[in-house]
Amino acid sequence: MLNLHIEGGEYLPLREVVFQTLRNAIIRGELKPGERLLEIQLSEMLGVSRTPIREAIRKLELEGLVVMEPRKGATVASITAQDLTDVLEVRRVLESLAAELASKKRTEEDVSQLAELHEQMQNEENIKDLHKLANLDETFHDILYRATGNQRLFQMINQLREQLYWYRLAYVKSEEARKNVFAEHLEILEALKNQDVKAAKKAMKLHIVNQEKAILKLISEKAE
């Protein structure tokens, strides 16, 4: 049985804390695609009134994480193969641009942090914890995005990739997939270290294309 709890945010307005709590639950797969979001149930579970729940659901709908269905109300959005293809087509372009800008603007500290994260991801203890591994992967990309110096680009990519968290988590369950991710990250890291724009764009494009193929395969297998 689902058991949600308010997550941190002591300095944030309650509506924002509730929004982030529900958003994280969807991204992590605790609230699953097609699952109904009942205001009364969620308000009792989180210990808040229905007003911040209602506001959070509206914001989640705007982000594409929730859909409103006739006679059913709010449900967690499902991602179809076409949805995924659409998202990754856009992400491929944005991430290639991020790799290009980061390879030009990165600092030595950026490279050092990326190298450290690359090592952490291959740590045996982290490999056993898939959520931690996925979070380290996100942090690796976050550093690269911030190295671009383009905050708008950073926000756009993050909004797209967060919709794919569950599939990325399923992806890294495979030992072969993890090896591919580690190898691809190393290529990206080396390209940034050498400020090789062409190599950085190529490595990032391959990284996203391989992820797209693997996740489409997962969706296909789930549909069978």
CB 189 within 8 A of CB 111: yes
pTM: 0.75
Q: How much of the chain is helix, strand and coil, in % rounded to 5?
A: 70, 5, 25
Is 169:181 a contact under the CB 8 Å cutoff? no
How does pLDDT run across 26-36, given as a tens digit for each residue? 877 788 888 99
Q: What is the pLDDT of residues 57-110, one digit of tens each?
A: 999 988 778 999 888 899 998 777 787 788 888 888 999 999 999 999 999 999
Distance of CA 31 to the CA centre of its chain: 15
Provide the b/e sequence for 191-204 (b: ≥16 CB within 10 Å): bbbeeebebbbbbb
pLDDT of res. 1:
46
3 pLDDT more than 80: no
pLDDT of residue 25: 87
